[in-house]
Structure 1
Amino acid sequence: MLTLGGALAGTGTGPGANPNSGGDTAGALTTALSEALGDVDRSLVLTGVFGIAGAGSAGRPAAVSAARRAWHACGLRGSPAVVTDIAVAFAAGTTAQKGIVVFSGTGAGAAVISDGAIVRRADGYGWLVGDEGSAVWLGREAVRAALAALDGRSRPTLLTESVPRALLGQAVLSELGAATPRHQCTQHRPAATPAPALAFAGAAVNGTSLGAGGTTTLAREPASRVPQNPALAQAIIKEVYGRPPAALGRLGPVVAAAAAAGDAVARRITEEAAEWLLRDVDAVRAALTDPSAPVVMHGSVLRDGPVADAVRAGLRVRFDADPRRAGDGAVGAASLAIRRLGFPPPE
């Protein structure tokens, strides 16, 4: 929540709001908005902006309806503006009205933004048919790699230990008699030079940043096979299919940690993620009329770690300048709301 002068007046968080990944949009927005408002006098709230995945296309009616339900449930006057989460991601990194944003959180993609509208976009199509390079994509690839190693289709990887531990917990692993065997991670070999939302919502009185293709080719040489454990594999499958797809995003840091430790399979996954994200940027950059316009990196995957490092390096090469790191998406949405009232956005 921001004052007209840009001072922080309240914050709130809620569960995942992306309906394409199993989130309850209205419920999540209501939870976050209510927490952000606290005991603030509702009559002082002038307007709001929600950035919602899918709000710029066929999903817009549902997104607008969810935002209005949350707004009115919190006792606020009027109706909030609804924009795409992609526009909010850009506003979270710059006060400029035009530029490029590349994002990777629950969803992933890139877009050219102008005055809060998407001029051109690449990906951001949801976990089922897109979002390559997102936290959910990283999680899915990690599970695939772990299962392939567990049933003997592929080489051992640190992911056969860290993925079951993250998904099931040590207590369940012990019950299964599945203390995953420790082994030396497969050494990373440098790959060829790479070729490369996030679901959050915000309100003018703030809101919340909510953290939301391709296949990895795994080596098949028979190097120190992991003992097969059908019960463990089935427990992983039960956990994965028993939760919304967005839950796979929690494995993003697991992949990053394994890659940082030198695991070849995890490194291959993070490198491919960066390639997808940079490919998204290449697909939209022709629509950027001002070559000096800012480039913003947004989302949990692009804060730090191997994917963020690779994407940042690729953007430097492409634009001969350092990309900007986005801050809180909710603050970006609040800045857009302030701008809609005719005030300059806070620096």
Structure 2
Amino acid sequence: MAGTGTGPGANPNSGGDTAGALTTALREALGDIDRATVIAGMFGIAGAGSAGRPAAVAAARRAWQAVGLRGSPAVVTDIAVAFAAGTNAPKGIVVFSGTGAGAAVISDGTIVQRADGYGWLVGDEGSAVWLGREAVRAALAAYDGRGSPTLLTESVPRALLGASVVDSARRRQPRHHRALAMAGAPGPGPGPAPDTVAAGASPLAHGTSARSRGTGTAVLIPDQAHPPDGGPLGRPPEHPPPPDPQFAQAIIKEVYGRPPAALGRLGPVVAAAAAAGDAVARRITEEAAEWLLRDVDAVRPALADPQAPVVMHGSVLRQGPVADAVRAGLRARFAADPRRAGDGAIGAAALALRRLGHPLPD
């Protein structure tokens, strides 16, 4: 490996700048490498299916030329890259859940049939963004009395607004309210949200790996983008204070002030609450797994070889309650353990080598 690079979110359907993100990743990966030594490239880009392919190809070419490379890179959908990241077999099924979610039957780097993966607005059920949206909805419903009590009323504002903002708001509560909150008893509802809470700084202003689902993967031969993994958010408190409605408007401002993909940051928050036994969070994770397995059931008839591998890909399916449920469901359906995908950059590199006439053994 000669170099790696990372960039911000690249999925245009989630507010990303595809060309800019790929250019950033490519430039970092190349470093001071002689551009003349790069003989080929492969981009796995979210939204590079039939509907978004022209824009994806144009973005890849702009990035390629911006860093001084000759020729044009190959462009495939990131779904094909996700499958190749788990197996060198030419055919099989991939179920994915990261920024987006769905399942597909893959044959030689081409999607034969797919289910979902339609973007946050009309699909992607079971994705990290979907989990984040459901977490926010559950917290807001608990704040205004429509929903059940949940740990998410504490962990969601901490993740979106920052622990310091939440703790500062707690300290500004009336003293008797703070005492009741510390004791775990319901206290009187606070007044309108202070402006300082609504304007609180957010840790969501961050870049995401260029190899993750929804961002696109750029691989050079012999270079590849391989950013480090980010760590999950902390677990929610076992005994949070009562729901504080003053956070509702601050959360709304934060959610609508960021690209939709930013909601994916809450995926680990839901998983942590579910692992802590929160009934609302467990319902969300169970529904996510049901959606993903439904996707698999929808594409399975297009798989000619019942022995072909099944690959799990994406941040939601690495570990946690959704991953455990999907893995168990796949094992029951195929009588075999699914394969876990590695770095998407490895999958893109494998596809690039195959196109150059150097297929790898499975």
Query: TM-score, structure 1 length as denominator?
Result: 0.86
Q: What's 1:326 paired with? A: 341
Structure 2 CA distance for partners of 1:210 and 1:336, relative to 1, 3 Å: farther
2:291 corresponds to which letter in structure 1?
A: W
Structure 2: which 5+ residue stretches go unaligned? 186-212, 230-239
The 1-side partners of 2:305 and 2:215 are apart by 28
User: SS of the residue aligned with 1:79?
Assistant: coil
Which one has a bigger Cα radius of gyration? 2
Query: Which of 144, 149, 153 lines up with 2:137 in the alignment?
Result: 144
Deviations 1:129-160 (A, max 9, x none): 00000000000000000111111111211100
Structure 2 CA distance for partners of 1:102 and 1:227, relative to 1, 3 Å: closer
Q: Does 1:313 align with 2:306?
A: no
In the TM superposition, residue 276 of structure 1 has moved relative to its aligned partner by 0.3
The 2-side partners of 1:225 and 1:171 are apart by 16
Q: What's 2:256 paired with? A: 241
> Is the 1:201–1:210 contact (alpha carbons within 8 Å) kept by the matching residues of 2?
no
Deviations 1:291-311 (A, max 9, x none): 110000000000000000000
Q: What's 2:55 paired with? A: 62
Structure 1 ranges of 4+ moved more than 4 A: 178-184, 208-211, 224-228
In the TM superposition, residue 10 of structure 1 has moved relative to its aligned partner by 1.9
Deviations 1:269-314 (A, max 9, x none): 0000000000000000000000110000000000000000000000
In the TM superposition, residue 343 of structure 1 has moved relative to its aligned partner by 1.2
The 2-side partners of 1:225 and 1:271 are apart by 26
RMSD: 2.1
The 2-side partners of 1:15 and 1:280 are apart by 28
Q: What's 1:199 paired with? A: 215
In the TM superposition, residue 208 of structure 1 has moved relative to its aligned partner by 5.3
The 1-side partners of 2:24 and 2:338 are apart by 33
The 2-side partners of 1:9 and 1:285 are apart by 39
Q: What's 1:193 paired with? A: none
Structure 2 CA distance for partners of 1:79 and 1:50, relative to 1, 3 Å: same
Q: What's 2:4 paired with? A: 11
User: SS of the residue aligned with 1:48?
Assistant: strand
> Is the 2:154–2:243 contact (alpha carbons within 8 Å) kept by the matching residues of 1?
no
Q: Does 1:282 align with 2:300?
A: no
The 2-side partners of 1:141 and 1:45 are apart by 44
In the TM superposition, residue 345 of structure 1 has moved relative to its aligned partner by 3.0
The 2-side partners of 1:273 and 1:333 are apart by 27
In the TM superposition, residue 227 of structure 1 has moved relative to its aligned partner by 4.9
In the TM superposition, residue 56 of structure 1 has moved relative to its aligned partner by 1.4
The 2-side partners of 1:336 and 1:227 are apart by 50
* Higher mean C-alpha deviation, range 122-131 or range 38-47: 38-47
Structure 2 CA distance for partners of 1:122 and 1:325, relative to 1, 3 Å: same
User: SS of the residue aligned with 1:202?
Assistant: strand
Structure 2 CA distance for partners of 1:59 and 1:241, relative to 1, 3 Å: same
User: SS of the residue aligned with 2:40?
Assistant: coil
Query: Which of 232, 244, 247 lines up with 1:232 in the alignment?
Result: 247
Structure 2 CA distance for partners of 1:56 and 1:80, relative to 1, 3 Å: same
In the TM superposition, residue 226 of structure 1 has moved relative to its aligned partner by 4.3
Q: What's 1:127 paired with? A: 120
In the TM superposition, residue 202 of structure 1 has moved relative to its aligned partner by 2.3
In the TM superposition, residue 171 of structure 1 has moved relative to its aligned partner by 2.1
User: Identity of aligned pairs, percent?
Assistant: 79
> Is the 1:200–1:210 contact (alpha carbons within 8 Å) kept by the matching residues of 2?
no
> Is the 2:9–2:214 contact (alpha carbons within 8 Å) kept by the matching residues of 1?
no
Deviations 1:58-86 (A, max 9, x none): 21111011111111111111000110010
In the TM superposition, residue 210 of structure 1 has moved relative to its aligned partner by 10
The 2-side partners of 1:335 and 1:36 are apart by 18
Q: What's 1:251 paired with? A: 266
Q: What's 2:148 paired with? A: 155
Deviations 1:228-272 (A, max 9, x none): 52x310000000000000000000000000000000000000000
> Is the 2:45–2:214 contact (alpha carbons within 8 Å) kept by the matching residues of 1?
no
> Is the 1:17–1:210 contact (alpha carbons within 8 Å) kept by the matching residues of 2?
no
User: SS of the residue aligned with 2:218?
Assistant: coil
* Higher mean C-alpha deviation, range 233-242 or range 49-58: 49-58
1:116 corresponds to which letter in structure 2?
A: G
The 2-side partners of 1:346 and 1:45 are apart by 24
User: SS of the residue aligned with 2:219?
Assistant: coil
Q: Does 1:45 align with 2:63?
A: no
In the TM superposition, residue 9 of structure 1 has moved relative to its aligned partner by 2.3
Structure 1: which 5+ residue stretches go unaligned? 1-7, 185-196, 212-223
> Is the 1:270–1:306 contact (alpha carbons within 8 Å) kept by the matching residues of 2?
yes
The 2-side partners of 1:273 and 1:341 are apart by 38
1:278 corresponds to which letter in structure 2?
A: L
In the TM superposition, residue 209 of structure 1 has moved relative to its aligned partner by 6.9
